[in-house]
């Protein structure tokens, strides 16, 4: 039964339908695995064993009656602690937040629950999702299942670690500059940053203009199944898209034959990438070519997205820190406070200039996708960093070590998927990123699926 926690959502649905495995058995296996591995990994902010077992029992009755709510009915999942889960506090990794339980679920959680998904609890996040090293003042350090001396990345640190450790198959992350794709890459799993507005969110956080919620899973198929049920209109989110038309994601299963793929090495600046990152892109490019795609190198000729995102990120964090009274700022992550203090306020003219350049970036990427169906590039510049490293210069780390390959696609609001290609000689996961035009989440998933099949990278860390 210990292996049941590590099965994919698609496999669980098949076994539930045949009656060879039950939601309660799987949920118990997940909870047992969490209890065994949490002292080492520290990926969970909250474990709701009672609620999960109750939801699993209800799901089991539906399967027995032949009336499951969806193929994901009874499949275990976790929720990042930037999102609301009714009956539990939303602490956002911070000692300065309200410890009282919230009354309502976030929209993405509503979508999962409507599909019958069993929520195991909440995963850790960096404080307010501000950085990529996976630690926060409230919960401490979350560690990478592949090597506990390394960080899983962030800000969806707990979700990345939980997925790679086999804490069930489905995990909700959020991504404002790479916070799904960075931990997905460093933990060797699949991470989907959907098109902006595809998955509704409420309440909106510090990065409302660029942030999304999305799936973190061990297979592309599970990510597609999860994205489909999360993409429901919710009136609370003013940026939310209408309900998608039936079959909107079906293209993800059809391969990439005939599609034009651009291997991109510039995003308005030269993002750094080590030899392993470049080798991963070359391997993924060969996989796409072998599947019939036309792969060439191209430059989308963007503004300096490094400068743009640094401004967006810095101003959002300064506003966040300044929103707390002085006595509560002492409870915040010291590097966050120090960075906010270093950030100069932006006048209205400068703010509008940044916004205009962000729109120019989105326009340039839209024009680029009139020629190219997909973009292929690294997801991160190097493998996972040490978990216990002291953070000294986050402004430089942002574009040198954390998110130089990811934040551009938040500015352009288009879908991007991180997918693993294998392990390096040191046993660290390596991956790539594929992006598609705005609202073509299906194409990004299709390319990720081809790479996944060709590379057959291990996605479950060997923790026993």
Alpha carbon 97 to chain centroid, angstroms: 23
Active site includes 155? yes
Angle 408-411-416 (CA atoms, 0-180°, nearest 5)? 60
What's the rounded Cα separation, in Å, for the pair 210 and 67? Answer: 38
Angle 427-157-89 (CA atoms, 0-180°, nearest 5)? 155
What's the rounded Cα separation, in Å, for the pair 42 and 275? Answer: 31
Contact indicator for 114, 69 with CB cutoff of 8 Å: yes
Q: Which residues of 118-157 are buried (b: 16+ CB within 10 A; e: fewer)?
A: bbbbbbbbbbbbbbbbbbbbbbebbbbbbbbebbbbbbbb
To which H or E segment does residue 245 belong?
Answer: none
Residues near 152 by beta carbon (within 8 Å), at least 6 away in sequence: 43, 134, 142, 143, 144, 145, 158, 160, 161, 164, 183, 186, 187, 384
What letter would DSSP give residue 144? B
To which H or E segment does residue 454 belong?
Answer: helix 441-455
Contact indicator for 9, 26 with CB cutoff of 8 Å: no
Active site includes 179? yes
- Tokens encoding 18: 């045949």
Instruction: State the catalytic residue, choosing from 8, 59, 80, 412.
Output: 80
Instruction: State the catalytic residue, choosing from 8, 94, 106, 155.
Output: 155
Angle 152-155-157 (CA atoms, 0-180°, nearest 5)? 35
What's the rounded Cα separation, in Å, for the pair 167 and 183? Answer: 15
Instruction: State the catalytic residue, choosing from 132, 157, 179, 185.
Output: 179
What letter would DSSP give residue 251? G
First vs last Cα of the chain: how many Å apart? 13
What's the rounded Cα separation, in Å, for the pair 28 and 52? Answer: 9
- Alpha-helix residue ranges (DSSP H) falling in 87-236: 107-114, 157-165, 181-187, 220-230
Which residues are annotated as catalytic?
Answer: 80, 155, 179
């Amino acid at each position: 039964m210990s292996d049941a926690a590590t099965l994919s959502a698609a496999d669980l649905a098949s076994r539930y339908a045949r009656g060879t495995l039950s939601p309660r058995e799987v949920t118990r296996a997940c909870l047992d695995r969490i209890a065994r591995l949490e002292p080492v990994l520290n990926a969970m902010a909250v474990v709701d064993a009672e609620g999960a077992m109750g939801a699993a029992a209800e799901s089991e009755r539906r399967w027995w009656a032949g009336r499951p709510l969806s193929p994901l009915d009874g499949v275990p999942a976790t929720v990042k602690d930037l999102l609301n889960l009714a009956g539990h506090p939303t602490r956002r990794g911070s000692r300065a937040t309200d410890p009282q339980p919230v009354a309502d679920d976030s929209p993405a959680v509503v979508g999962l629950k409507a599909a019958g998904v069993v929520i195991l609890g909440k995963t850790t996040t960096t404080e307010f999702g501000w950085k990529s090293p996976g630690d926060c003042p409230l919960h401490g350090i979350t560690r990478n299942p592949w090597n506990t001396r390394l960080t899983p990345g962030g800000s969806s640190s707990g979700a990345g670690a939980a997925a790679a450790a086999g804490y069930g198959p489905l995990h909700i992350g959020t991504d404002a500059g790479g916070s799904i794709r960075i931990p997905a890459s460093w933990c060797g799993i699949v991470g989907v940053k959907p098109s902006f507005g595809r998955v509704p969110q409420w309440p909106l956080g510090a990065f409302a203009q660029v942030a999304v919620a999305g799936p973190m899973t061990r297979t592309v198929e599970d990510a597609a199944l999860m994205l489909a049920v999360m993409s429901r209109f919710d009136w609370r989110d003013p940026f939310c898209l209408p309900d998608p038309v039936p079959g909107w994601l079906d293209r993800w299963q059809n391969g990439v034959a005939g599609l034009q793929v651009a291997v991109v090495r510039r995003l308005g600046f030269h993002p750094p990438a080590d030899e392993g990152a470049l080798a991963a892109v070359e391997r993924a490019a060969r996989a796409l070519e072998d599947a019939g795609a036309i792969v060439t190198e191209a430059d989308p000729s963007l503004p300096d997205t490094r400068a743009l995102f640094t401004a967006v990120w810095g101003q959002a964090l300064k506003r966040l820190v300044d929103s707390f009274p002085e006595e509560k700022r002492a409870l915040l992550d010291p590097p966050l406070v120090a960075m906010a203090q270093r950030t100069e306020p932006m006048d209205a003219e400068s703010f509008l200039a940044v916004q205009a350049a962000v729109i120019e970036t989105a326009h340039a990427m839209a024009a680029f996708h009139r020629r190219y169906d997909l973009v292929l590039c690294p997801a991160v510049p190097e493998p996972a960093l040490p978990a216990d490293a002291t953070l000294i210069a986050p402004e430089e780390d942002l574009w040198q070590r954390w998110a130089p390959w990811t934040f551009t696609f938040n500015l352009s609001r288009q879908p991007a998927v991180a997918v693993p290609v294998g392990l390096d000689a040191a046993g660290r996961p390596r991956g790539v990123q594929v992006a598609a035009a705005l609202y073509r989440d299906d194409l990004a998933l299709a390319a990720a699926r081809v790479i996944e099949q060709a590379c057959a990278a291990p996605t479950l860390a060997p923790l026993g």
